[in-house]
Amino acid sequence: MVICKKISKVYNGGFHALKDINIEIEPGEFVSIVGQSGTGKTTLIKLIIAEERPSHGSITIGDWDITDIEQYEIPVLRRQIGVVFQDFKLLPRKTVFENVAFALEVAGERQDKINTIVPQVLKIVGLDHRMDHFPTQLSGGEQQRVVVARALVHRPKLIVADEPTGNLDSINTRDTIDLLRKINDLGTTVLLVTHNREVVNALKKRVITLEHGTVISDQKKGRYLL
């Protein structure tokens, strides 16, 4: 599903965020990428969603080599990946329904299909009764569930979650992770970036550990090492 071959990312001033990373993620896998702050976890996510480009190496998503992806192809790539952000990134002037629907609207989906799918997905994340509310009227946990619904609504083969529990309390953290696990059980590949030890240990899934921009461990049923 995701193949990173010898990728490095060097920022201005010669700072190496990632050095010679080799990662291969199979379709349907649930992979946690862990590591302390500044080890390159978020940089790796940015490379996968083409927010940044690698300095060296290649990245393939599905059968698509996105290493030198053209600017006009980026929206097409992002419509195939669901992204969950730590800071939610919801559109503040759109309702819950409109935020989730937006991911379909950008892809030109028909309105009747949107009107059918969006309430179903909101029901899955338990927010069908909050469809007409604005993000500011929701709690942090509810906002994160809207983000998961938005990431899910266009049925992507890959969901990338960058510290999705970073701004949540323990109950909401558990709910969000349970949701990601359910999505994974339905066949979607999940790439979870976190430094939450409890979450990683409870998952008992594959864990890739990064340190100083390099992979120091890759365990099939791993635990939080650091």
Give Cα separations from 60 to 19, 32, 50, 202 (angstroms).
17, 19, 11, 29
- 8-state DSSP, 149: H
Q: Please say which residue, 46 or 195, places its beta carbon nearer to other proteins.
A: 46
Beta carbon of residue 92, minimum distance to other proteins (angstroms, whole number): 7
Q: Please say which residue, 6 or 113, places its beta carbon nearer to other proteins.
A: 113
Token pair of 63 as six digits: 């059968």
Beta carbon of residue 8, minimum distance to other proteins (angstroms, whole number): 22
Strands 206-211 and 214-219: antiparallel
Instruction: Give me the residues that bind other proteins (CB under 8 A), please.
Output: 49, 51, 72, 74-79, 83, 85, 89-94, 102-103, 105-108, 110-111, 150
Through-space distance between the first and last CA atoms of the chain, rounded to whole angstroms: 27
Beta carbon of residue 75, minimum distance to other proteins (angstroms, whole number): 5
In the chain, what is the greatest distance between 2 CA atoms, to the nearest angstrom?
Answer: 51
- 8-state DSSP, 40: S
Beta carbon of residue 192, minimum distance to other proteins (angstroms, whole number): 18
Residue 170: CB atoms within 10 Å: 11
Q: Please say which residue, 21 or 160, places its beta carbon nearer to other proteins.
A: 160
Q: Please say which residue, 147 or 199, places its beta carbon nearer to other proteins.
A: 147
